Amino acid sequence: MIDWQKEAESRREDLLQDLNGLLRIQSVKDPVTASKGRPMGLAISEALDYMLELSENMGLNVENVDGYAGYAQYGTHDPVTTVGILGHLDVVPATGNWMSPPFEPTIREGRLYARGAIDDKGPTIAALYGLKIVMDLGLPLTKNVRMIFGTDEESGMSCMQYYAEKEGMPTVGFAPDAEFPMIYAEKGQFNPTLVPKRAPVETKSLLKLESFESGLRINMVPERAHAVVSGDIRPLVEEFEDFCRKHRVKGEAEINAGEAMFTLIGVSAHGSEPSQGVNAGTMLALFLEDASLQPEGKSFVKLLNAMHEDFHGENLGIACSDDVTGALTVNPGIMRFGMGEEETLIQFTARCPVNADYGWIKAQLEESVDGFDFRISDVRETSSHYVAKDEPVIKALQTAYQEVTGDEPTLLTTGGATYAKFMAKGVAFGACFPGKEMTAHQANEYIEIDDLLKATAIYARAIYELAK
């Protein structure tokens, strides 16, 4: 009988060395350096080249698919039999205060700290080494195994859409980009952009909101917010310290050239779990709620106040739930205010239950934001994903997980979206274990090295179970 954990442990140093090299690449999407063959920018292109070279050196057949994605395949069987393993090489920006530089991997007390350690470079390398174990042992397979490396998971997944159109997608497989034991159902997404209904008009008031800025991505709870206010600002500045103390957040206010500049620090978290963070943008709007702002600024602040800690969209009239994936969640991720045209907007992500009616959600939201003099200017929708509990892929992954860990392979659902949805019978499989802290999109992101090796063992067993 194969000792999968022992096989993973024997490759510990090589795995960590290869992961270290990948984590050092600052693979944040960068349109400024994008070009033909490098659609996501130079850094992500470098990460893709790194993984393809690493895979080729392991003996896999590799191909770069126009810079949008790449694959590494083991086996030359009928393509219809191919088992897909989909991981991503892009990461979100490394915001916040880190104990060590986010792109200089550091080991402390058995944990490997770096942006991408758990989301998703660590698990992707673990899956690759799982395949390497199967190859090294010479285990007989009857199906191809194809690892597909994506480059735009954090910003819309255009990479996998391109790959699916160009290459076709395996029907069965997993994405090592979530939690163990496995996620068989993923919520859909309704991601609107809200803008003012009419152009701003200069009016006299005690205070004027000159600008407001918070958030980088809708799938991150904003960690910082900045606002500039002019007018009778001294009372407001004096109140800010008390507000921050009351709400247990860090903030700073200063006066410069007759304007008050407010900065508030929240806590970042994944946008699919907004209650796990502290939204700096809506918190700063809460502070400005009672200020005598001009009408445009007042409407903007009031709408953000309605969204403050409204994690399920009740104030927006879009709350709904089902028995499979539970309640809808809302994360206001990008907030901007300015007096010029098109300078004011609010973007949020609503993670919707499997059975949600997007038409109803849009109608309800339109009615709600109309009361704040806002409208919906754009919406990006993503369908939910669901695999029946009795599908063979579910049983195979349950077998692998239980054999390696000895634990019950219960089935989970998520508000997050993974590449698994691109496969008709794809599920999200690891690599965060039950009871462990999930630090994706947070400062000081990490993966426990022992967990990384355990995940590698599970992936090896799973690949063999799916492809034998």
Tens digits of per-residue pLDDT, 436-462?
A: 999 999 999 999 999 999 999 999 999
Residue 175's DSSP bridge partners are 428
CATH of segment(s) 4-186+385-467: 3.40.630.10
- How far CA 148 is from CA of 22, 272, 291, 400, in Å, comes to 16, 24, 52, 21
Q: Catalytic residue numbers?
A: 90, 153
Give the pairing type, strands 83-88 and 145-150.
parallel
With CA atoms as reference, report the closest residue to 118 among 270, 10, 5.
Answer: 270
Helix crossing, 392-405 with 449-467: angle to 10°?
140
Please give the class, per CATH, of domain 189-382: alpha beta
Nearest residue to 461 via CA among 392, 379, 398, 382:
398
Tell me, yes or no, if the two domains 4-186+385-467 and 189-382 fold the same way: no
Place of tokens 């008709």: 424
Domain positions in the chain are 4-186+385-467, 189-382
The residue count for the chain: 468
Kind and range of the H or E run holding 207: strand 207-214
The reported pTM is 0.82
The per-residue pLDDT for range 107-152, each reduced to its tens digit, is 999 999 999 999 999 999 999 999 999 999 999 999 999 999 999 9
Q: What is the pLDDT of residue 416?
A: 82
By C-alpha distance, which of 317, 424, 311 is closest to 363? 317
In sequence order, the β-bridge partners of residue 228 are 211, 261
- Report d(CA 111, CA 236) in Å as an integer: 43
**pLDDT in the model for residue 343:** 87
Tens place of pLDDT for every residue, the chain, 468 residues?
Answer: 899 999 999 999 999 999 999 999 999 999 999 999 999 999 999 999 999 999 999 999 999 999 999 999 999 999 999 999 999 999 999 988 999 999 999 999 999 999 999 999 999 999 999 999 999 999 999 999 999 999 999 998 999 999 999 999 999 999 999 999 999 999 999 999 999 997 666 666 679 999 999 999 898 999 999 999 999 899 999 999 999 999 999 999 999 988 999 999 999 999 999 999 999 999 999 999 989 899 999 999 999 999 999 999 999 999 999 988 999 999 999 999 985 556 899 999 999 999 899 999 999 999 999 999 999 999 999 899 999 999 999 999 999 999 999 999 999 998 888 999 999 999 999 999 999 999 999 999 999 999 999 999 999 999 999 999
